[in-house]
Chains A and B, each alone.
Chain A
């Protein structure tokens, strides 16, 4: 069994009008089966309202399934005894960095989590140091968080989660409010956590460029998993993604347009290097043809 597993997960909520009468039931997550291996980098895509955040909130027991089950490292999330263990093992980072930082000083904020877990003081400081180093924010440890940029604040939020030594970390659109530089910093930090520390990552995003290195991509639509596969498999289906209100990275889109205009390119090109190589190959063939 993987570190995160859901089986037949359904989540419904009841819509009420102003007087509190039931108007109807919305099925936000509908029969989702996920199995995430330890150490994987998993991306979840989906348009606004597709159920991806609702799904994510089940993984650290903020929401409980209406039907089906969710297990984190073998623990059933509905098991109240395990609640704090689950929250410690599956850390969550949200969209707005300003809503997640509470400390007056960066290092105090990062120490908040382990302190609440009852970690001895000595070890808290060790954890704070290693977490801040992991996200490249150690030299800002004495700063006040409100003096930091959005990307820096978001990395402090991530450090606060990893100081609790989670096995996996769930990031719900962590870059939506950041400028290009902030996005780069955060994505780099998240990839390093996965590569170096071996932490399982579940990244929810609307930026297609951020997930080309993921091991697996799930695309949600109407609460169901509509597509799953490697980034290459997913992004080679440009038209299908568009129907699901999504997009592909610009380089993939350019390759797709060129292919439609008759240039012999494979589908699912993900990086600038791949496209350059393919076009160079075709360009050389043209040269040879000319010589002959």
Chain B
């Protein structure tokens, strides 16, 4: 169970004067069960890339394989692919439309042609997975808070039982607590079900805290593909392409330069605080 991208190129408006080369020779393997962060400045090709993963866009050149099958082969069942690769768009709450929360989440599985009972079981399980209380199930989705609406939208995708969950900036516009709640819930879901998660984000702090692998996009190509620790060591190169490292990485760098011998590769508060405490206590004894 994996996605393989083999020399994928994509050109918007090919053969016109407005042609834009949005993806350049992308080669990636996305195995089962990884938590991946996809970062890149606006216009770097992140969204174009994720839209290839569930077949919404067709590569101008190159192939994409899901579980060993070419997803653009003539007899390939795209509908099934889209139920297996779930894509949650930015501001997904704008896509809610049903009269109550439960019906909204049922919409996806019902369209897969499942029985009513199976549909409802899945909707119930998905709402539980995103941590929404039963009290809200029969409320209008429009009466919920921003963070709750977003959970309902994510549940709508989870009810399709995807193997891969792609979230395009799931925390944009949420307050800090709301950000943490959504991401904690996704991390928990991943730990419990072993689903592959791809998180598209502009927050380096969030990416550093949750993911095990980071793919950095720049001008349509993959610039780095490594662990957060390794990727954020290149903070100068990241800045040059409109990104940054988490603030703690800069703190460790500044401490190191000022003569305190800390390692500079911490990417989260916990790592940084442990490293500083280690150096401080070594020094005292």
Contact = CB atoms under 8 A, between A and B. Distances in A.
Interface of A: 46-49, 95, 149-151, 173, 176-184, 206, 208-209, 242, 245-247, 249-251, 253-254, 257-258, 261, 263, 272-273, 275-277, 279-280, 282-283, 286-287, 289-290
A287 B260 CA distance: 11
B283 A247 contact: no
B94 to A, nearest CB: 12
For the residues of B in contact with A, the DSSP-based class is helix
Interface in B25-61: 40-43
A283 B283 contact: yes
Contacts of B248: 250-251, 254
B98 to A, nearest CB: 13
A48 B173 CA distance: 8
A246 B273 contact: no
Contacts of B40: 179
B73 interface: no
Contacts of B204: 180
For the residues of A in contact with B, the DSSP-based class is helix
Nearest to A243: B177
Contacts of B6: none
Given A246-B175, A280-B258, A280-B259, A149 B43 contact: yes
Contact of A263 (B41, B173, B242, B277): B277
B174 interface: yes
6 contacts: A48-B146, A149-B42, A245-B175, A250-B246, A251-B247, A279-B255
A84 B85 CA distance: 51
B264 to A, nearest CB: 13
B267 to A, nearest CB: 11
A245 B254 contact: no
Given A179-B202, A181-B242, A47 B175 contact: yes
Contacts of A46: 175
B255 A48 contact: no
Given A282-B280, A283-B260, A287-B283, A254 B178 contact: no
A271 B185 CA distance: 31
Given A49-B145, A179-B242, A254 B280 contact: no
A286 B246 contact: no
Nearest to A247: B176
B116 to A, nearest CB: 25
B174 A251 contact: no
Interface residue tally on B, bucketed by range: 35 or more
B177 A246 contact: yes
Contacts of A249: 247
Given A184-B244, A289-B284, 4 more contacts: A48-B146, A249-B247, A282-B280, A283-B260
A182 B42 contact: yes
B283 to A, nearest CB: 5
Given A250-B248, A254-B251, A245 B205 contact: no
Contacts of B126: none
Nearest to A175: B202
B147 interface: yes
Contacts of B251: 250-251, 254, 272, 275-276
Q: Which of B41, B176, B248 has the most CB of A within 10 A?
A: B176
Nearest to A95: B173
Which 8 pairs of residues, A with B, have the shortest CB-CB distance? Answer: A245-B177, A181-B242, A247-B176, A250-B247, A47-B175, A180-B244, A257-B273, A48-B146
B1 interface: no
Contacts of B276: 254, 258, 263, 279
Given A179-B41, A283-B280, A273 B178 contact: no
Interface in B100-152: 145-147
Contacts of A282: 280
Contacts of B43: 149
Contacts of B255: 275-276, 279
Interface string B141-169: 00001110000000000000000000000
B60 to A, nearest CB: 22
Contacts of B205: 250
Contacts of A150: 42
Contacts of B284: 286, 289-290
B273 A48 contact: no
A173 B254 contact: no
